[in-house]
Amino acid sequence: MNTDLLVEHLQQIGWHYTADQIDGLLEDASKNNVPYSDFLITVLSQEIEQKEKLALEKRIKKAKLPYIKSIHDFDFSFQPSIDERRVKEVLSGRYIHNGENILLLGPPGVGKTHLAISMAFEALTQGHQALFITANDFIAECQKAEKQGLIQRIIKRYSRPELFIMDEIGYFAFDELSAHTLFQIISRRYEYGAMIITSNKSYVEWGKIFGDEILATAILDRLIHHSTTFNIKGESYRLKEKKKAGIQPASIRGN
Protein backbone atom coordinates (compact mmCIF):
# COMPACT_ATOMS: atom_id res chain seq x y z
CA MET A 1 0.00 0.00 0.00
CA ASN A 2 1.37 3.43 -0.97
CA THR A 3 0.86 5.69 2.04
CA ASP A 4 3.09 8.58 0.93
CA LEU A 5 0.17 10.92 0.20
CA LEU A 6 -1.56 9.95 3.44
CA VAL A 7 1.61 10.64 5.43
CA GLU A 8 2.00 13.97 3.66
CA HIS A 9 -1.56 15.02 4.54
CA LEU A 10 -1.17 13.90 8.17
CA GLN A 11 1.99 15.98 8.50
CA GLN A 12 0.26 18.99 6.94
CA ILE A 13 -2.40 18.98 9.66
CA GLY A 14 0.20 18.46 12.38
CA TRP A 15 -0.51 14.79 13.09
CA HIS A 16 3.17 13.89 13.13
CA TYR A 17 2.83 10.99 15.58
CA THR A 18 0.15 9.30 13.45
CA ALA A 19 2.19 9.98 10.31
CA ASP A 20 5.13 8.10 11.84
CA GLN A 21 2.93 5.21 12.99
CA ILE A 22 0.45 4.93 10.11
CA ASP A 23 2.05 1.95 8.34
CA GLY A 24 1.91 -0.19 11.48
CA LEU A 25 -1.60 0.99 12.35
CA LEU A 26 -2.92 0.12 8.88
CA GLU A 27 -1.20 -3.26 8.90
CA ASP A 28 -2.64 -4.17 12.33
CA ALA A 29 -6.12 -3.00 11.31
CA SER A 30 -6.03 -5.02 8.10
CA LYS A 31 -4.66 -8.13 9.80
CA ASN A 32 -7.28 -8.04 12.58
CA ASN A 33 -10.14 -6.90 10.36
CA VAL A 34 -10.73 -3.83 12.58
CA PRO A 35 -13.95 -1.89 11.79
CA TYR A 36 -13.42 1.58 10.32
CA SER A 37 -14.93 3.31 13.38
CA ASP A 38 -12.63 1.43 15.78
CA PHE A 39 -9.62 2.21 13.62
CA LEU A 40 -10.51 5.89 13.58
CA ILE A 41 -10.99 5.94 17.37
CA THR A 42 -7.58 4.31 17.83
CA VAL A 43 -5.86 6.82 15.55
CA LEU A 44 -7.56 9.80 17.20
CA SER A 45 -6.90 8.54 20.73
CA GLN A 46 -3.22 7.94 20.12
CA GLU A 47 -2.74 11.32 18.45
CA ILE A 48 -4.54 13.14 21.28
CA GLU A 49 -2.56 11.23 23.89
CA GLN A 50 0.73 12.12 22.20
CA LYS A 51 -0.22 15.80 21.85
CA GLU A 52 -1.18 15.93 25.54
CA LYS A 53 2.11 14.29 26.49
CA LEU A 54 4.12 16.81 24.47
CA ALA A 55 2.09 19.72 25.86
CA LEU A 56 2.73 18.52 29.43
CA GLU A 57 6.46 18.20 28.74
CA LYS A 58 6.44 21.78 27.42
CA ARG A 59 4.59 23.07 30.50
CA ILE A 60 7.02 21.25 32.81
CA LYS A 61 10.01 22.74 31.00
CA LYS A 62 8.57 26.27 31.17
CA ALA A 63 7.71 25.84 34.88
CA LYS A 64 11.41 25.46 35.74
CA LEU A 65 10.81 22.98 38.56
CA PRO A 66 14.15 21.92 40.07
CA TYR A 67 13.02 18.28 39.94
CA ILE A 68 9.82 16.26 39.61
CA LYS A 69 8.16 14.87 42.71
CA SER A 70 4.75 13.25 43.02
CA ILE A 71 2.60 13.40 46.13
CA HIS A 72 2.77 9.58 46.09
CA ASP A 73 6.44 9.91 47.07
CA PHE A 74 5.61 11.92 50.20
CA ASP A 75 5.82 10.10 53.55
CA PHE A 76 2.82 11.40 55.49
CA SER A 77 3.48 8.93 58.30
CA PHE A 78 6.76 10.72 59.05
CA GLN A 79 5.04 14.12 59.29
CA PRO A 80 1.76 13.55 61.17
CA SER A 81 1.28 17.34 61.51
CA ILE A 82 0.26 17.37 57.83
CA ASP A 83 -3.37 16.47 57.18
CA GLU A 84 -3.31 14.26 54.08
CA ARG A 85 -6.95 15.04 53.34
CA ARG A 86 -6.20 18.79 53.21
CA VAL A 87 -3.29 18.14 50.86
CA LYS A 88 -5.51 16.06 48.55
CA GLU A 89 -8.06 18.88 48.55
CA VAL A 90 -5.31 21.19 47.28
CA LEU A 91 -4.40 18.67 44.58
CA SER A 92 -7.94 18.94 43.19
CA GLY A 93 -6.84 22.31 41.78
CA ARG A 94 -9.80 24.35 43.01
CA TYR A 95 -7.46 26.87 44.65
CA ILE A 96 -6.06 27.74 41.21
CA HIS A 97 -9.49 28.41 39.72
CA ASN A 98 -10.31 30.56 42.78
CA GLY A 99 -7.03 32.49 42.76
CA GLU A 100 -6.13 31.28 46.25
CA ASN A 101 -2.75 30.69 47.86
CA ILE A 102 -1.06 27.74 49.56
CA LEU A 103 1.39 28.62 52.35
CA LEU A 104 3.76 25.93 53.61
CA LEU A 105 5.56 26.87 56.82
CA GLY A 106 8.04 24.88 58.88
CA PRO A 107 11.70 24.32 59.75
CA PRO A 108 14.23 23.09 57.16
CA GLY A 109 13.93 19.54 55.89
CA VAL A 110 10.31 18.78 56.80
CA GLY A 111 9.08 18.43 53.22
CA LYS A 112 7.85 21.92 52.26
CA THR A 113 9.60 21.97 48.88
CA HIS A 114 8.52 18.41 48.12
CA LEU A 115 4.90 19.34 48.78
CA ALA A 116 5.17 22.54 46.75
CA ILE A 117 6.66 20.73 43.76
CA SER A 118 4.10 17.92 44.03
CA MET A 119 1.25 20.45 44.05
CA ALA A 120 2.80 22.30 41.11
CA PHE A 121 3.32 19.09 39.15
CA GLU A 122 -0.32 18.09 39.70
CA ALA A 123 -1.39 21.52 38.45
CA LEU A 124 0.74 21.05 35.34
CA THR A 125 -0.84 17.66 34.62
CA GLN A 126 -4.24 19.35 34.87
CA GLY A 127 -3.24 21.74 32.09
CA HIS A 128 -2.28 24.82 34.12
CA GLN A 129 0.75 27.00 33.47
CA ALA A 130 3.15 27.36 36.42
CA LEU A 131 6.46 29.02 37.23
CA PHE A 132 8.84 28.12 40.08
CA ILE A 133 11.69 30.09 41.62
CA THR A 134 13.54 30.15 44.93
CA ALA A 135 13.53 33.39 46.90
CA ASN A 136 17.30 33.69 46.59
CA ASP A 137 17.21 33.31 42.80
CA PHE A 138 14.39 35.85 42.64
CA ILE A 139 16.48 38.38 44.55
CA ALA A 140 19.39 37.80 42.15
CA GLU A 141 17.10 38.12 39.10
CA CYS A 142 15.75 41.43 40.38
CA GLN A 143 19.24 42.83 40.95
CA LYS A 144 20.33 41.81 37.45
CA ALA A 145 17.13 43.14 35.86
CA GLU A 146 17.49 46.50 37.63
CA LYS A 147 20.96 46.99 36.14
CA GLN A 148 19.55 46.26 32.68
CA GLY A 149 16.44 48.40 33.17
CA LEU A 150 14.19 45.34 32.87
CA ILE A 151 12.49 45.16 36.27
CA GLN A 152 9.03 45.51 34.67
CA ARG A 153 9.78 42.38 32.66
CA ILE A 154 10.33 40.48 35.93
CA ILE A 155 7.00 41.71 37.26
CA LYS A 156 5.18 40.65 34.08
CA ARG A 157 6.92 37.25 33.96
CA TYR A 158 5.83 36.22 37.44
CA SER A 159 2.39 37.83 37.24
CA ARG A 160 1.42 35.92 34.08
CA PRO A 161 1.22 32.17 34.93
CA GLU A 162 -1.84 30.68 36.59
CA LEU A 163 0.35 29.35 39.40
CA PHE A 164 3.44 31.03 40.84
CA ILE A 165 5.65 29.07 43.27
CA MET A 166 8.25 30.79 45.44
CA ASP A 167 10.36 28.48 47.57
CA GLU A 168 12.52 29.15 50.64
CA ILE A 169 11.40 32.59 51.76
CA GLY A 170 13.34 33.32 54.94
CA TYR A 171 16.78 31.88 54.23
CA PHE A 172 17.99 35.16 52.72
CA ALA A 173 16.89 38.72 53.44
CA PHE A 174 15.26 40.63 50.58
CA ASP A 175 16.77 43.97 49.63
CA GLU A 176 14.46 46.95 49.04
CA LEU A 177 14.27 46.37 45.29
CA SER A 178 13.38 42.67 45.40
CA ALA A 179 10.94 43.19 48.30
CA HIS A 180 8.99 45.88 46.44
CA THR A 181 9.11 43.88 43.20
CA LEU A 182 7.62 40.85 44.93
CA PHE A 183 4.95 43.07 46.49
CA GLN A 184 3.96 44.33 43.03
CA ILE A 185 3.74 40.76 41.72
CA ILE A 186 1.62 39.64 44.65
CA SER A 187 -0.61 42.69 44.26
CA ARG A 188 -1.16 41.94 40.57
CA ARG A 189 -1.94 38.31 41.30
CA TYR A 190 -4.23 39.12 44.25
CA GLU A 191 -7.56 37.24 43.98
CA TYR A 192 -6.88 35.97 40.46
CA GLY A 193 -3.47 34.24 40.33
CA ALA A 194 -2.75 31.36 42.69
CA MET A 195 0.54 31.10 44.56
CA ILE A 196 2.41 28.47 46.55
CA ILE A 197 4.85 29.90 49.08
CA THR A 198 7.24 28.00 51.35
CA SER A 199 9.02 29.57 54.31
CA ASN A 200 11.06 28.47 57.29
CA LYS A 201 9.95 31.57 59.22
CA SER A 202 6.71 32.31 61.07
CA TYR A 203 4.68 35.30 59.91
CA VAL A 204 5.87 37.46 62.82
CA GLU A 205 9.41 37.21 61.42
CA TRP A 206 8.57 38.38 57.90
CA GLY A 207 9.26 42.00 58.79
CA LYS A 208 12.95 41.08 59.16
CA ILE A 209 12.92 39.10 55.92
CA PHE A 210 11.66 42.06 53.90
CA GLY A 211 13.40 44.75 55.96
CA ASP A 212 10.13 46.65 56.37
CA GLU A 213 7.32 45.80 58.79
CA ILE A 214 4.70 47.77 56.85
CA LEU A 215 5.62 46.13 53.53
CA ALA A 216 5.68 42.68 55.14
CA THR A 217 2.21 43.30 56.58
CA ALA A 218 0.92 44.37 53.16
CA ILE A 219 2.40 41.25 51.54
CA LEU A 220 0.95 38.93 54.20
CA ASP A 221 -2.43 40.67 54.04
CA ARG A 222 -2.74 39.77 50.36
CA LEU A 223 -1.27 36.28 50.70
CA ILE A 224 -3.34 35.19 53.68
CA HIS A 225 -6.70 36.70 52.68
CA HIS A 226 -7.61 33.75 50.44
CA SER A 227 -5.28 30.96 51.48
CA THR A 228 -4.67 27.59 53.05
CA THR A 229 -1.77 27.40 55.50
CA PHE A 230 0.10 24.23 56.43
CA ASN A 231 2.20 24.55 59.60
CA ILE A 232 4.56 21.59 59.38
CA LYS A 233 6.20 20.39 62.55
CA GLY A 234 8.55 17.47 62.92
CA GLU A 235 11.98 16.11 62.25
CA SER A 236 14.00 16.77 59.11
CA TYR A 237 13.86 14.07 56.44
CA ARG A 238 17.55 14.59 55.83
CA LEU A 239 18.31 14.10 59.52
CA LYS A 240 16.20 10.95 59.45
CA GLU A 241 18.25 9.51 56.58
CA LYS A 242 21.52 10.34 58.39
CA LYS A 243 20.30 8.55 61.50
CA LYS A 244 19.38 5.53 59.40
CA ALA A 245 22.92 5.50 58.09
CA GLY A 246 24.30 5.74 61.61
CA ILE A 247 25.46 9.34 61.18
CA GLN A 248 24.62 11.81 63.94
CA PRO A 249 25.14 15.56 63.80
CA ALA A 250 27.72 16.94 66.24
CA SER A 251 25.04 18.65 68.33
CA ILE A 252 23.38 15.26 68.92
CA ARG A 253 26.57 13.28 69.46
CA GLY A 254 27.60 15.63 72.22
CA ASN A 255 24.41 15.05 74.24
Sequence spans of domains, the chain: 4-62, 71-241
| Calpha distance 135→126 (Å, rounded) | 26
Q: Mean of the pLDDT values across residues 152-160?
A: 98
In CATH terms, is domain 71-241 a member of 3.40.50.300? yes
For residues 248 and 242, is the Cβ–Cβ distance under 8 A?
A: yes
Burial of 94 (0-12, 13-18, 19+ CB in 10 A): exposed
| Calpha distance 119→111 (Å, rounded) | 12
| Predicted pLDDT at 168 | 97
| Calpha distance 59→95 (Å, rounded) | 19
What would the pLDDT profile of 160-204 be if each residue is shown by its tens digit?
999 999 999 999 999 999 999 999 999 999 999 999 999 999 999
Residue 1 has pLDDT above 90, yes or no: no
Higher pLDDT, 240 or 202: 202
Model-level pTM? 0.85
CA angle 86, 89, 94 (to 5 degrees): 140
- pLDDT grade, residue 234 (50/70/90)? confident
